[in-house]
Amino acid sequence: MTMETVSTAKAHGGTQGVYRHRSTTTGTDMTFAVFVPAHDPGERLPVLWFLSGLTCTHANVMDKGEYRRACAEHRIVFVAPDTSPRGEGVADDPAYDMGQGAGFYVDATEEPWAPHFRMRTYIEDELPALIGSEFPVDPDRQAITGHSMGGHGALTIGLRHPDRFRSVTAFAPIVAPGQVPWGEKALGGYLGDDRSTWRAHDAVALIEDGARRPDLLVDQGEADQFLDEQLRPELLAAACAAAGIDLTLRMQPGYDHSYLGVSTFMADHVAWAAERLGKAT
């Protein structure tokens, strides 16, 4: 895989870069951002993946997420992929919650999405292989987080891969896409009408079906305009309680769905990850 450097800049003693490569999974060019803290030659650092939400690219968290100071302090690499394939010939939809910018971190099986919308494989397999070959990361010390649709992605990927990710957190996640309008539209469109195939992409359903983690951290704004209809954190709380998963659900008074909330609590999520990532084993 050939990687092109789009831009680099120094920040908090490390390097914030934007990169592009041709993905064999999506059949498109894919752009992503990586922050690498200062480190010793040959040193391998833990990595925190951040998955973004509807309409976003890598740039949203890079510009608004305020993660670099905390990642520099804890010496954690921060990787921010795009949310979907893009470009000429890639299927799209006029609505913001379907198509380009709204990949939902699934491998689509339905037309017209199946040829390019393979974000599950891209995030779980192809991009980690590229990051591992091009950046000083320790593959045995990985964490994942995300916002909204990306919170859904972080929870589901973390639950499906408990041995890969030592830390799983989320900001205002879609916890039960099979039970809310955003998720029903996206999962139905990408995966078809058989709801049994949706369960691998639904955090609450995964827990109901036996997925386990020792703990989870979720920050959710109480003034979030999508809270009651689309996000439903009480469903995750009930599933975790029944499964014995230690969920720290922090309902934050006054915070909405924007990156103002994400940036406010980002350092807490980096610190939570750092505590669990620890030193190399």
Quick check: is 258 catalytic?
A: no
In angstroms, the CA 139 to CA 128 distance is 9
| Six token digits for residue 166 | 């030592």
| Six token digits for residue 250 | 């922090």
Distance from chain centroid for Cα 55: 14
251 phi, psi to nearest 5 deg:
-85, 115
- Percent helix, strand, coil in the chain, to 5, is 35, 25, 35
Active-site residue (options: 58, 152, 257, 269): 257
Active-site residue (options: 84, 148, 202, 219): 148
In angstroms, the CA 72 to CA 67 distance is 9
In angstroms, the CA 77 to CA 49 distance is 8
How many residues does the structure list for the chain?
281
Q: Output b/e per residue, 79-117; b: 16+ Cβ within 10 A.
A: bbbbbbbbeeebbbeeeebbbbbbbbbbbbeeeebeebb
Active-site residue (options: 74, 82, 224, 269): 224
Quick check: is 167 catalytic?
A: no
Quick check: is 152 catalytic?
A: no
Q: Which residues have a catalytic role annotated?
A: 148, 224, 257
